[in-house]
């Protein structure tokens, strides 16, 4: 069983040789961004997607050493942490680049609930209101994690904040910004359009249903149950379909109390997003 170290001794990723680390709390759109970046590198370098086994982008670096080693992971085993157990020591990233992917905290919380309900090895037994107030791996852990990175963003060699909502609003433009930050040559407009179409929600859902990528990172936990899919449902602001006004107030109040003010707009990003009642979620 995993035994978290003290906050002074952070958990390091299994791959410590990365040039760029893409970090996130679970359910912020990490698989979508990973698939976009994998397809972009494959298209630009002419390297088959098959070398990117289990969506590990370092497979491209093994074939072409000029491709930076890009490692995705949930920094410091954050899903299994309490707020007090999170490490504030980010010295590991001092000579590396860091991309932090965030998402509206309320949409994140709802999507995370369905993950622990259907995709955890020990399924969560409570209701969504119970989950919101859990001490481990829920709302306050996520907000504290973001707040730590707000305070420590000057530790890495370079730091980039992006979000699911920015990717949804301008997928090609935001992807180009992330790729450029990682040190990858900018792709042309047509190439980016191909990449965006490849990772569009319906295409990702089809990949998941057919197990096209042969990875648990894009495979239903319970075939036939859409709530168990990586490509689940959520629209931007979809939390309103699941949370009561009192539950929303709880998350909003926690955000204002825990997260540094400059990053609070990102945590409330769904409030600024245009209404999109028919937009399907891209947040695996």
- Give the span between the Cα atoms of 174 and 256, in whole angstroms: 27
Structure tokens at 184: 């990858």
Question: Which class for 91: exposed (0-12), middle (13-18), buried (19 or more C-beta within 10 A)?
Answer: exposed
The residue written with tokens 């894009």 in the block is 218
Asked if 232 contacts 221 with a C-beta cutoff of 8 angstroms, the reply is no
What is the biggest distance separating any 2 CA atoms in the chain, rounded to whole angstroms?
52
Q: What is the CA radius of gyration of the chain?
A: 18
How much is the pTM? 0.85
> What is the Cα–Cα distance from 2 to 7, expressed in whole angstroms?
15
Q: Which listed CATH number (3.40.50.300, 3.40.50.1580, 3.10.180.10, 3.40.1440.10) goes with 20-272?
A: 3.40.50.300
Where do the DSSP E strands lie in 84-215?
A: 97-102, 158-163
Mean pLDDT of 137-163: 98
What is the dihedral angle through the alpha carbons of 189, 96, 38, 23, rounded to the nearest 10 degrees?
A: -110
pLDDT digit string, tens, across residues 169-220:
999 999 999 999 999 987 788 889 888 888 776 656 555 555 555 555 444 4
Q: Where are the domains of the chain?
A: 20-272
Q: Characterize the bridge pairing of strands 20-24 and 97-102.
A: parallel
| 68-72, 169-173, 221-225: segment of lowest average pLDDT | 221-225
Q: Any idea what DSSP says for residue 103?
A: -
The pLDDT confidence band at residue 56, using thresholds 50, 70 and 90, is: very high
Q: How confident is the model at residue 227 (pLDDT cuts 50, 70, 90)?
A: very low
What's the confidence (pLDDT) of residue 215? 55
């Amino acid at each position: 069983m995993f035994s978290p170290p003290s906050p002074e001794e952070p958990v390091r990723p299994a791959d410590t040789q990365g040039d760029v680390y893409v970090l996130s709390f679970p359910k912020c759109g990490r698989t979508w961004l990973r698939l976009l970046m994998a397809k972009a590198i494959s298209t630009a370098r002419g390297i088959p997607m098959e070398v990117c086994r289990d969506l590990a982008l370092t497979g491209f670096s093994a074939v072409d050493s000029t491709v930076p080693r890009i490692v995705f992971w949930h920094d410091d085993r954050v899903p299994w942490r309490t707020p007090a157990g999170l490490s504030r020591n980010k010295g590991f990233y001092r000579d590396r680049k860091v991309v932090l992917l965030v998402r509206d905290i309320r949409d994140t919380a709802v999507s995370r609930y369905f993950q622990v309900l259907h995709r955890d090895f020990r399924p969560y037994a409570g209701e969504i209101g119970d989950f919101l107030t859990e001490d481990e791996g829920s709302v306050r852990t996520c907000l504290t994690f973001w707040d730590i990175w707000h305070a420590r963003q000057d530790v890495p060699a370079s730091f980039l904040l992006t979000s699911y909502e920015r990717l949804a609003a301008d997928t090609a433009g935001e992807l180009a910004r992330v790729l450029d930050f990682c040190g990858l040559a900018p792709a042309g407009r047509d190439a980016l359009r191909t990449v965006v179409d490849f990772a569009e929600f319906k295409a990702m859902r089809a990949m998941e249903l057919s197990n096209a990528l042969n990875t648990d990172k894009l495979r239903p936990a319970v075939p036939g149950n859409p709530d168990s899919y990586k490509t689940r449902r959520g629209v931007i602001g979809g939390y309103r379909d699941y949370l009561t006004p009192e539950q929303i107030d709880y998350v909003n109040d926690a955000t204002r109390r825990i997260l540094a003010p400059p990053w609070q707009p990102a945590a409330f990003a769904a409030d600024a997003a245009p209404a999109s009642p028919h937009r399907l979620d891209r947040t695996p």
